[in-house]
Amino acid sequence: TDIRTVQLRRVRLPLVHEFQTSSHAKRFLEHILVTLTADDGSTGWGEIASPSGPFYSAETVESCWAVARDHLAPLVLKGSAFKIRGNQFARAGFDMAVWDLQSRAAGQSLAAALGGTRTSVEAGVSLGIEPTIDALLEQVAQRVGEGYRRVKLKIAPGWDVEPVRAVRAAFPTVALHVDANGVYTPGDLDIMKELDGFGLLMIEQPYAPRALAALADLQQRLSTPVCLDESIEELDDLDTALRLGSGRVLNIKVSRMGGLTAAVRAHDLAQEHGIPVWCGGMHEFGIGRAANVALSALPGFTLPSDVSGSDKYYARDVTTEPIVSVDGLVEVPTGPGLGYEPDLEFISAHTNDSLELHR
Ligand code: OSB
Ligand code: MG
């Protein structure tokens, strides 16, 4: 059915714990919620989970807002495909809302609509850079205590080998992986080789996004799998990476790929090449988090995903029920669509700006 209304809401939530990556620190996150209403009154929700500034990709909340308002909303109201270049985060919010609307209308769960087969998914946690190694060890202890069995550590020059050594020593059996968000260069090979000795599950995005050839050289020199994140924004990037051997593992993010449609295609291509995948996160609110859970139900998602419970990030989420992880597992909902309902009152109370466009 045709879409008659698009609503955009800028929603700001406080984080329960400040998150520091190689580029910046944050205490609040502002994401854009997309609501589509069809002629028959059915609705679908999506989330645009861009960081505030162009730290992870070129997109920002402002760029997403402008592209959503001026390009994507008019396209969806005309019933046209989202044929625009780049702007994956913005596109992902609309693509997600269409999937939610269609699967909801069909009375099918989003996971089933995408081809998911799992009834629960293994969740890991992603831990930012902490002020001290002791503070990091405390974070790991808390998360392991909550039942998470895989821990990812953000690393950056000056915060790499020592924190990893300390966590490995204190938690010898936890599945551990590191994420550099692209801040190292081939000149840092010695650090990579040291990290190679810790039995890590993977080293995520050690070099810059476009460094696919250098990443292939690195993968040849390491026994630890290199995982690609920022490098893969398009299916063609994945094709190039597969041909070069730039990594042995793929992080699939709905936001980074421009939506669930592209994420499923990336999963299929990786599976054809025997590349294990997992679902990365962007600190999503409940809408985007529910989409990540549904995607993680696909058969190729054989590694733990960054789909920790809502409570790791938010005291209260935008959905009436939070996403919950028990013993490191998150249930895949069986109800229609995303399987979680938006909490309209809570969302309104945290909306900074909103916009409604009609056909
Ligand atoms: O590289 O995976 C990343 C958050 C913001 C920007 C980049 C990344 C991340 C995460 C978040 O690691 C993980 C999560 O959402 O749980
Ligand atoms: Mg990453």
ipTM of this complex: 0.98
Ligand 1 binding pocket mutation candidate from 23, 282, 293 (most atoms within 8 A of CB) = 282
Tell me the CA end-to-end span of the chain in Å, nearest whole number: 13
Does 89 lie in the same domain as 7? yes
Ligand showing the shortest atom-to-Cα distance for residue 284: 1
Nearest CA to ligand 1 atom 9: 282
Does 238 lie in the same domain as 186? yes
The candidate with the shortest Cα–Cα distance to 146, out of 310, 318, 289, is 310
Does 95 lie in the same domain as 117? no
Does 296 lie in the same domain as 173? yes
Residues 6+ apart with CB under 8 A from 227: 177, 202, 203, 204, 205, 247, 248, 249, 250, 251
| pLDDT at position 26 over 90 | no
Looking at the domain assignment, is residue 337 inside a domain? Answer: no
Does 64 lie in the same domain as 162? no
Does 193 lie in the same domain as 83? no
Q: Which residues surround ligand 2, an ion (CB under 5 A)?
A: 179, 204, 229
Looking at the domain assignment, is residue 336 inside a domain? Answer: no
Between helices 235-244 and 212-221, what is the axis angle to 10°? 40
Q: Is the CB of 45 under 6 A from ligand 1?
A: no
Residues acting as catalytic residues: 154, 253
Ligand showing the shortest atom-to-Cα distance for residue 127: 1
Residue-wise pLDDT tens digits, 166-192: 999 999 999 999 999 999 999 999 999
Q: Is the CB of 308 under 6 A from ligand 1?
A: yes
Looking at the domain assignment, is residue 315 inside a domain? Answer: yes
CA–CA separation, 355 vs 359, rounded Å? 14
Beta bridge mates, 203: 178, 226
Label each residue of 39-84 as H, E or C. CCCCEEEEEECCCCCCCCCCCCHHHHHHHHHHHHHHHHHHCCCCCC
Asked whether the whole model's pTM tops 0.90, one would answer: yes
Does 292 lie in the same domain as 253? yes
Ligand 1 centroid to residue 233 C-alpha, Å: 15
CATH number for the domain spanning 209: value is 3.20.20.120
The candidate with the shortest Cα–Cα distance to 227, out of 142, 289, 309, 150, is 150
Task: Give just the sign of the alpha carbon dihedral 93, 29, 55, 165.
Answer: negative
Ligand 2 centroid to residue 88 C-alpha, Å: 16
Model pLDDT, residue 253: 98
| pLDDT at position 99 over 70 | yes
Its domain, for residue 15, covers: 3-107+343-358
